[in-house]
Structure formats: C-alpha cells, structure tokens
Amino acid sequence: MAVTESAFDPTQIPEKPTLDGIEAEWAQRWQDEGVYAFNRSATRDQVYSIDTPPPTVSGSLHMGHVFSYTHTDTIARYQRMTGKSVFYPMGWDDNGLPTERRVQNFFGVRCDPNVAYQPGFTPPFRGDPPKDHQPIAISRPNFIELCEELTHEDEKIFEDLFRRLGLSVDWDYLYTTIEDRSRRVSQRAFLRNLARGEAYTQEAPTLWDVDFKTAVAQAELEDRERPGAYHNVAFARSDGQGDVVIDTTRPVLLAACVALVAHPDDDRYKPLFGKTVRTPLYGVEVPVLAHPLAQIDKGTGIAMICTFGDLTDVIWWRELNLPTRAIIGRDGRIIATPPNGLESPSGIAAYEQIAGLFINQAQTKVVEMLRESGAMIGEPRAIMHPVKFFEKGDRPLEIVTSRQWYIRNGGRDTDLRGALLNRGENLVWHPDHMRHRYSNWVEGLNGDWLISRQRYFGVPVPVWYPVNADGDTVHDSPIVPTEDRLPIDPSTDVPSGYTADQRNQPNGFIGDPDVMDTWATSSLSPQIAGKWEDDADLFGRIFPMDLRPQAHDIIRTWLFSTVVRANFEHDSLPWKNAALSGWILDPDRKKMSKSKGNVVTPIDLFEKFGSDAVRYWAASARPGIDTAFSEDQMKVGKKLATKLLNATKFVLTFPQPDVEAKPTHPVDLAMLARVAETVREATIAFDQYDYARALERTEAMFWWFCDDYVELVKGRVYNSQGADAAGSAISALRLALSALQRLLAPFMPFTTETVWRWWQSGSVHTATWPNTAELGPIGDSAILDPIGEILSQVRRAKTDAKTSQKTAVTEATVSASESVLAAFELGRGDLSDAGSVRSWVTVAGAGETTVSAVLAPPEPAS
C-alpha cells in the first residue's frame, strides 16, 4: 500500500492557501528527494523508457516545447504511478549548423580541420567580435570545446525552464549530441554499418548547396515555387536537314548538354532517334535519344539532357550511359575550363564569355548570345515552377559530382524498403493516421541516405584512407579505427601503423575530411541516452524503448532514420510507440511565428498563471492535433488548481472519525461508484496515450464532486444527521479526494503535490495510481441524477425568485416517477440540508420530474 496517510496536522494547511511560487520549492525538493530518479535495478518489463527529443540549444525554448514536452510528461508520470521505473532522460542538441554559426559569431573563430589542436586555447573574443574581425582558424577539437563552453549557459537556462514546467526528467541521464559519448556512439554505429556493408562511399551526382558548400540529403529538400522562363532553342541537325527546337528553363546549361531526349512513342521525333545534332553556341555534337521519362506534352516534347540540371538528368545520364560535361562548380560559378567535348574555337570563345560567372549572370549572358546567334526562337515565356532548395538554404540546389558516404535506407533496395515499411507497420502510432506519413515517405525514396557533409563542425566520418606511392587517395580501402579508440578525429588522430608525419604523404594516409549529417547522430538517440555498449547493463534494461515523442514534421528525418539504424544494429524497432504532437497556432489559426511579434515567452506565462495552469492548457489538446494558443484555457487551469487547493482544505477540516469508519450511506456509495468509473476511464485513456481524455474525464468528475456532491453532503458532515451519517460522508470524501488528487497529479504536479503532502506521506508522484478496489464497496450511481435534478429545481425556484440560495423552503412538492422518488428517499436528508427544505411532499406520477417550492419570507436584515 503506497498510499499512507501521515499524522495529519490541520495547522499545516494555510488559512489562505496559495499557489504562488510553489514551482521553485517543489522542483528543488523533487531533486533532493530523488522523486524522479530512474531505478536501474528494475528489469526491462518493469521499466518505461522514453526517447526524449533533444532540443536545439542554439535557439530558445518556446510554447511549442512547453506544449509537446508536457504531453510526454503526463505519460511519464502516469507510468511512474502505475509502478514502472521510468527512464526519462533529457538531451541537448548542440551538433549542427545552428550551433556552428553561433560559435563562429560569438568567439570570432572558424573550424578548420587542417589546423592542429591547441591545448588551452583562448579565443580572441567572448561575445560580439568587431565587424571587421577575420575569424581565426582553429582545429575541430578546439571548436568543439568552445561549443561546449558556449552552450553550457543556454543548457542551464533550458534545464531551469523544464524544471519549472515540472518535467519529471531524471537529470542524471542528461546527454548532449556533440559530447564524447555521443560522438563515440555515432562513430561506432557508422563503423558497424560499414563493416556490414550498410554504409558505403561513392562518387556520384549529388544535390549541392552552393552557399553552404555541402551535399544535402533527400530528407532535407523542399520545393519552392520560383519564377522561371521557357526558352525555345534551336539545335542544328548534323545531317543538315534543319533544326530541332527544344524547350528549356535553363539555357545556361547548354554547354553541359550531352544529348536530346524524347519519348519513345513520340512520332514527331522517332525519325531522329540515333541521329545527332549540334549544340548552339558551342557546336558540340550530341545524340538524340529515346526515354520514357520524356514528356510528350511538355514544351516541344523534346528536351536537352545536361550534367546536371535536375534529378531527371541524373536518371537519363545513368540509364543512357551518357558522358559527363560538368560546368557548375561547388562555389556556384561556371567552371573556368570548358568541359570535355567542347573543342571548337568558336565554342571555346563562347564558353569563355560565361566562365567564372555566377549561374544567374551566366544565364543572362547565354540568352544574349543565343539571341545574337539566331538560335533563340521567339521570346522567353515566364512561368512559375517548383525548384528544389535545401530547407535551410537561400539559393536553388545544383547537382555536382562528388564523393560521399551513404547509408542504405531502402531507396535503392526493394527488400530493405519492404523491411523498413514493415517496421513502420509494427510501430504503434499516436494518433494512428500518422503512420501514413511514414509509409508515404519510405515508398517515395529514390536513393540511399547521404550522410556525409562538407562541413567542419560535427561528428567526423571516422576513417582514413591510404595514400599510394603516386600520392593518390585510395578510397576503396578505408582505414578504420578499432572501437576502443573512439571517438576519433581523423584530422588530428593518426591511424595505427602510421606516424603523424605520414599524413598527406605518398605511401602515408589522409583523413576523411567530412563530418556526418546531424541526423546520423540524432538517429542514435536511444543508443546515446541508454549508453549503448558503454553500459550494456543499462541498455538492456531500457531498449527497445517504450516511447518516442516528437513533432510530425520530422517523421521523414528523425523518426525514419532512427528506425533505419535500429533495424541494422539491433534487428528491431527502436521503440514500441511513437507519439506525434501537433503545432501551436496563433489564436487566428495561423502557425505561430516569431516574426509576428506576438509570441509570449513560457516564463511569462508560468509567472502569470502558474506552471500547472500552462500544463493544463497543453494537456487539454488531443494528441497530434494542432492547437490554438489560449490564455483563456490557462485561466481555466488556474481555476482548477485553486479549486483543488480549497476543496482539499475543506475535506481535511473533518478528521477521519476513526480508523474503521467506512462509507455506508447510499449517496456516498453512489459518489464512489462515479469515482470508480472515472478511474477506469482515465486509466484506459492513459493506456491509449490519450492524456487529454484522461484529463477531461477527471476534470469533469472533480467539478461534479465539488459543485454537487460536496454541496449535497455538506450539512451531513457538519453532523446534521448524526455521527454515523457524518462518518460515512467524511470517509467517502477522503477516499474520493485521495483518488482525485492522484488522477490529477500527471497534469498538475505542483498543486497536487502541495495538497497531497498536507495529509499523506511521501510524494504523490510516487504514490500508486488509483484503482477501483481501494475505494471499497461502491453503490448505484444511478440515484445521483434524480437527486441532482431535484436539488437543481429547488435552486432554480430561488433564482427565479431572485433570492439568496440560503432562503428556506417551507414545503417542496416533488412529482416524479416511482424510481425517481425511490432515489429521492435515499437522498432526502441531504436534500433537506442542501436546499434548506423544511418539509417535502411527494406525488408519484408518470411524467417528468417537477419540484415546486414554497419559499419562506426572507430573514429580516439584522
């Protein structure tokens, strides 16, 4: 029995109880008492483990965090009260571009893996370097050290906010995504993928951001509508039989053209297949080919294939075995030297006109040259069309050929895709329809997961390559470290069997210069949080985890990539359940945005309404549903908290008459039946992850308890009907209150803890979740509605007479059915007290229940 009443001292209850300032007090006591400490002696079946999303520390916490983390916390608290040892860690995401930029701007440094590590390095600035300051290049290990220094302050602020919100996190299991342990996990998992053939390196056309100068994965793309223009361009047939006119939005790529393509069934172009044409301006001879991806009804029905204008070009290039004529460099400029095949003097002269220009400048130049040459047919026709962007980028992506690392994800392998789809099927989704987002994404993959990034800050790809006697890098046989060396940085660490002076030398080695995509590390959050391999005992107790809570916009990235890694490494799902939270919307239903300037910070709301009230607002939202920000809901939450305070104070005014006292009165037993029903409903709802329903049922019960039941029996507890009748009511009140406080504990941890400790020992948050058995024998709740209806009608009579509710009724006549009258008799004494009714007359009949009341004259003012 985890619920034990402490020796109750009524003087412990303040005369005017308040909720002001309770957050800081309880947060400290919970920490001191270890209320949320994970009990790692618990076996897997006794553990409930949560794969918490690590917030990005370079931003700030906003209402969206408060919203979704509250949802998870209610589940964690429920599970803890059912007796589970809850593994609820927190992580900070400090690996990635946003942190990299902040470190640069704060310290006036930049990360350069070619620089040697400098122990005890002091940055030139700590905040606000002057505008003309040139960033100092420092090694990656030094950069990571500065990152940890900078994020430390923010992490403290985040932690304080989450504590103030009342998250029942065990802070002893805190992790960050750039710390040694995370880098070790990330690199170890990668090396195992490599050893099993799940990771591979390949030189291939890759989507490339020219500003960030890095490759970008499919999951990070987005389409944006951009203005463009179709240009009709004439290609001269090599056989002199006239021109072929193509349609293109990117005449700038004419120099990269390797073929023309039309649909195999297109009668207009069938005679041309196998023949050649010459590119305008450059005079390069290219074949006319057939491929089913060419669209008959688009433009002139024949297109030029360039290396590379878009992803369709890549498919054509691959499937038609075409040569490569790259003209776009990684810096977004036209490459200085003409591509292979462009050899005629006039062609070279034309190319020199655009060499070195940015793409849009070159496009203008090419159009101008086409006009002059007469190859432009008519004027460009403006259109809007979707263009691929890096989701964080400002310029359209280009496609360049480069060597990259990939992890297989089913994008090129039907069997693996089927296995991953099957994983999604076996995951329990909350709400269920979110599973479609997953299957849509997996079914639409068109390539493996590109994990290498040409950035400097991040978790390095942990391999080196041999350099042969000619000084060439041998990419086919990477040198890998043993796992006990991890984490390593190939830019500073030396592979075993080599010496440092062999770096970048013939017959020596070279470090892989790239880092891994942040998702390649984040996808291992269960392994990082659970200390995979570093603490196998712990990991065995928490994995696979029970719950992944996250936002629905990162199903394709975080959720999917985590499934991929667990599938390879553990041949299992990483968790049993995934709970997808919705967005916070402005009251006008638009997605909340900082730019609108109306964003309130969480801390202001905590101070204005109290944390429990803010949590109440969050927990009122159905799982996965976008929800309007509403201070009104917080006011309601605050009202509920205040009510709980006062109702508890009232009930505890009446000490338990004696230990053996049990509810016996039919009205009391009926009330307990309703509480039992609420316990059942709330438990079922929580087991289905529907915290909002659990709250709604509990809240409705609690208000009925206060407004109706307490008012009904108030006279009896003041001894109007004798000691036994009072004892029944008092013990029933206390049984119900105990259950209600615990039912509300997941939602209002601060208020419930306050009132619980007035009369119980220990924390409400480690108390047993209420069950129906503890309520003892229960009665027939059906008698409550008729009794309530009669009381309501008595009250209405007083309201209609515009008189006080304490006005006495000299005689009340109840006309009702036999069954209603039977209920009335059971509640007669309480109704007399609650309605100040001096005498009753009953009339049995068939129709509706009606009560007519004769009111006593108002008391003369004294």
Where on the chain is the footprint of RNA (CB under 7 A)?
Answer: 18-19, 218, 221-223, 386, 433, 436-437, 440-441, 444, 552-553, 556, 587, 589, 591, 622, 625-628, 630, 632-633, 635-636, 638-639, 642-643, 646-647, 649-650, 653, 693, 696, 700, 703, 706-708, 710-711, 714, 792, 795-796, 798-800, 802-806
Q: How far apart are CA 650 and CA 758, in angstroms?
A: 12
| Contacts with 64 (C-beta within 8 Å, 6 or more apart), sequence order | 551, 583, 584, 592
Q: Is 365 or 552 the residue whose CB approaches RNA more closely? A: 552
Distance between CA 754 and CA 764 in Å, rounded? Answer: 9
Provide the 8-state DSSP code for 397.
-
Nearest Cα to Cα of residue 797 among 810, 785, 787: 810
Minimum CB separation of residue 383 from RNA in Å reads 14
User: Which is nearer to RNA, 131 or 589 (by Cβ)?
Assistant: 589
Q: How far is the CB of 816 from RNA (least distance, A)?
A: 13
| CA 364 to chain CA mean position, Å | 44
State how far the Cα of 404 lies from the Cα of 600, in Å rounded to an integer: 43
Report in angstroms how near the CB of residue 650 gets to RNA at its nearest.
3
Q: Are 316 and 283 in contact (CB under 8 A)?
A: no
What does 406-432 look like in DSSP terms, one character per residue? EE--STT-HHHHHHHHHHHHHSEEESG
CB nearer RNA, residue 278 or residue 635: 635
Which residue's CB is nearer to RNA, number 343 or number 632? 632
Identify which of residues 114 and 805 has a Cβ nearer to RNA in the complex. Answer: 805
Nearer to RNA, 306 or 701 (CB): 701
Residue 544: is the preceding peptide bond cis (ω within 30°)?
yes
What contacts 24+ positions apart, CB below 8 Å, involve 25-34? Answer: 26/166, 26/749, 26/750, 26/753, 26/754, 27/163, 27/164, 27/166, 30/168, 30/763, 30/765, 31/163, 31/171, 33/763
Considering beta carbons, is residue 140 or 716 the nearer one to RNA? 716
- Beta strand spans in 446-574 (E): 449-450, 452-453, 464-466, 509-511, 515-516, 545-551
String of DSSP letters for 234-273: EEEETTSS-EEEEEES-GGGGGGEEEEEE-TT-TTTGGGT
Q: How far is the CB of 696 from RNA (least distance, A)?
A: 6
CB of 701 vs RNA, minimal distance in Å: 12
DSSP H/E element including 380: strand 376-390
Closer by beta carbon to RNA, 215 or else 488:
215
What is the nearest approach in angstroms of RNA to the Cβ of residue 681? 7
Question: What's the closest the beta carbon of residue 620 comes to RNA, in angstroms?
Answer: 7
Least distance CB 349 / RNA (angstroms):
39
The torsion region of residue 131 among left (phi > 0), alpha (psi -120 to 50) and beta comes to: alpha
Bridging pattern class, strands 276-278 and 285-290: antiparallel
Nearer to RNA among residue 236 and residue 628 (C-beta): 628
C-alpha closest to that of 603 among 9, 15, 23, 77: 23
646 or 810: CB nearest RNA: 646
